[in-house]
Amino acid sequence: MTRPKILVTELLGPKGLEYLRQYADVDAHDLLPPAELPGLMDHYDAIIIRSAHRLTRELLQGHPRLKVVARAGAGVDNVDLEACTEFGIAVINAPGANAIAAAEHTFGLLLAVMRNIVAGDAHVRSGGWNRAAFLGQELHGKRLGIIGLGRVGRQVSRIAHGFRMTVSAYDPFIAPEIFQAHDVKEVKKLEDLIAESDVLTIHTPKTGPRLTEALLRRLPQGAVVLNVARGGLIDEEALARLLEEGHVAGAGIDVFSSEPPKPDNPLLKLPHVVVTCHLGGSTHEAMVEVGMMTARGVLEALNNQTPPNLVNVPIPDLPEQHLRTLDRMVRIMGHIFSRLNPRFDAPLVLSTSRSLNPSVLPWLKQAALAALLQDRVDERVNTVNALLIAETQGVSLLVEQDYRGDEEPRLRLRLEGQANTELEMAVHQGVLTLKKMAGIPLELPWPERALVTRHHDAPGVVGRVGTLVGRYDINIGQLYLGRRGPHDEALMVLTLDTDPPETLLEELANFPDIDAVYAFSGF
């Protein structure tokens, strides 16, 4: 298999580069001049950028080799997501790789503000020793309000519990179970959270709520405000006014609406404000994790897998291993079903067991369509653009939850009204298990290589197949049989140690009583 070729336009970190170079040919730059990027777009399967380059629609269009673009960081503001989705280009980022760093920096600013650390340092350096002038406040017992309980917000809550703070949060996109798991009180209205927060910190993307003067005035007298998320989420002039009035006691600001902040920014002139230059995620450990998370995501996407840091696909909030297992199951099922059913002459129906959370369904639909269509169209199709390609092909897929069955993750795929097309797989004790194929019950752990025959249930078929496979010096690991009934349609699945050659498949297809032969591998 040809190794993919990857362009890295800015510093990624030695560990990330080392990981990429194990599996791909990599051209890495400390800083590629942006003017040189357009001339290189045709030569790479993946491109990794940071902040110095913008991947616009015009730049992305017309490069069929390009499959993946990645930003080695949390945001993707400099990537045209709509264009990438249209062109079937997977977009990767590194969300949460710096979550611990950002959460720790949040508390670094908070302690600096509440314990007068910066002012106290300057005072001592100038020869002073007036302890009474720098009387601070404890975090113990203070009410912390978190706007955004994502990766960073959750890390902030963990640290806050260590200081014995009471923690509340507002996040309309997070399930109640997440609040409960992190021992955080859920507040349904942003205004209510602000009104009960001695310390208010925001950890949302740029699309999060903006803290206007009207909202900030709801804070209790003497509150502290922190922003280690995105510039522009707080009305900086309004915050400065509340600080001057004494309504807000202090602020810790790492990000600004304009960076670097303009010299006349009022926050820079106030004594109870501690500012830093967008250092929230800047630790050695975070930089290593950003590089590694980006590298892993790029390579998985190049292998048609679903990395958890894929941006332009609705990735479900699942443990990483669960997502990988479900992703593999969908890819296997889509490929098998497409081979067994050359014509989609009815709508497709994918049923899920009750053990799968409904939040999985949007991603599941795209992943299933990608697997079903991958071998049926000439253009690139993947989870990113599967909905668009399916629409052009006139293929429809209904995803529904079917509450029959047990608690095992289980999927059933069929053509509507055609029970004899049903394909079913489940995760049994962590193993992908085939339960039904072409409507015929089977029970086998899905192997690395499988030889499948559809045949008439008649004496001698199994023996003739086994004999011929042996003549090709191919070892059979296991043999599984299923049938609709005596002397009716039957299936045989052989697990093989090596891939069968085309000549073997052709000979088998010519056997009496054998209707079709399939070889599956590479999952």
Catalytic residue numbers read 230, 259, 278
Pairing mode of beta strands 5-8, 46-49: parallel
* Cis status of the peptide bond prior to 260, with omega within 30 of 0: yes
Among the listed residues 417, 403, 343, 118, the one whose alpha carbon sits nearest the alpha carbon of residue 252 = 118
Three-state secondary structure call for residue 304: coil
CA–CA separation, 452 and 520 (whole Å):
8
> Coil, helix or strand for 391?
helix
Amino acid letter, residue 285: E
Which residue from 430, 428, 516 is spatially nearest to 465, judged by alpha carbons?
A: 516
Contacts of 20 (CB under 8 A, 6+ apart): 6, 8, 12, 26, 295, 298, 299
Can you tell me the distance from the alpha carbon of 224 to that of 283, in angstroms, rounded to the nearest whole number? 25
Instruction: Give Cα separations from 202 to 155, 193, 206, 209 (angstroms).
Output: 13, 11, 11, 9
Cβ distance 103 to 152 under 8 Å? yes
- Picking from 358, 356, 383, the residue whose alpha carbon sits closest to that of residue 370 is 383
Q: At what angle do helices 361-373 and 386-393 cross, to 10 degrees?
A: 60
Helices marked H in 408-501 — which ranges? 461-471
Q: Are 171 and 190 in contact (CB under 8 A)?
A: no
Give ∠ CA 90-91-96 in degrees, rounded to 5.
135
Cα(322)–Cα(475) distance, integer angstroms: 32
Locate all alpha helices (DSSP H) within 263-319, ordered by sequence.
284-302
Residue 297, judged by CB atoms within 10 A of its CB (0-12, 13-18, 19+), counts as buried
User: Cβ(45)–Cβ(68) under 8 Å?
Assistant: yes
In the block, residue with structure tokens 């005596």:
486
Neighbours of 320 (CB within 10 A): 10
**Half-sphere exposure of residue 347, counting CA atoms within 13 Å on the CB side?**
9
Whole-angstrom Cα distance, residue 425 to residue 187? 40
d(CA 477, CA 93): 41
